[in-house]
Chains A and B, each alone.
Chain A
């Protein structure tokens, strides 16, 4: 079945430094990849999404590129802010003839210190 792997459970950084959160996936279908962000005591919400191979997608200073050759969709930001502290989920929604059943990774908690 489909799966999403996020290798880091916790990432701790100092404000102003760059960050990369890893996401790899497995599916037999054409993939749509998503990053959702969940701030403390809030609901998850969409950060960005893509299905286009080798095209960078950006939103709110974050960016990610889907690489189908390596089945990856890593999330990056060049300079993290205190407000970026949150839980980040990578999710997969495959093209499968109308059967959606999105799959989420376990999440990466990002903590940004002053």
Chain B
């Protein structure tokens, strides 16, 4: 089964600080995604990537940057964290085999609290 590992599992940050959330997948999937999950909003797409060196803006990219330095790794960066970014963040990977039939494999999530 696909393995997606996120770190850290929990993070407490201060307002204005820089936060980096990391994601690693060992399945050689082309596509990777960052979502945040908030009650009443479901899963909202922040950034995604189709391969090493590429990043694309999702539906709510403001205040976030992403980096895909390799096939395996995809990071989400909050340069100036704000309390509104307190949430649970999920990374996911997908095969990207074509035609839209892409199952997503999710990591266990990172719970971020910005004080």
Contacts and interface: CB of A to CB of B under 8 A. Distances in A.
Interface size class, chain A: 20 to 34
Interface string A62-74: 0000000000000
A94 B108 contact: no
A100 B49 CA distance: 10
A56 interface: no
Interface string A16-33: 000000000000011110
Interface stretch (B14-22, B74-82, B91-99): B91-99
B101 to A, nearest CB: 5
Interface residues of B, number: 28
Nearest to A49: B103
A106 B40 CA distance: 6
Interface of B: 4, 31, 33, 35, 40-45, 48, 56, 58, 90, 94, 96, 98-109
Given A32-B102, A45-B106, A100-B102, 11 more contacts: A36-B104, A49-B103, A51-B100, A91-B104, A93-B102, A94-B100, A96-B100, A98-B98, A100-B94, A102-B45, A102-B94
Q: Please name the 9 residue pairs, one residue from A and one from B, whose CB atoms are nearest each other, closest first.
A: A106-B42, A43-B106, A32-B100, A104-B43, A95-B100, A107-B42, A93-B100, A44-B106, A46-B103
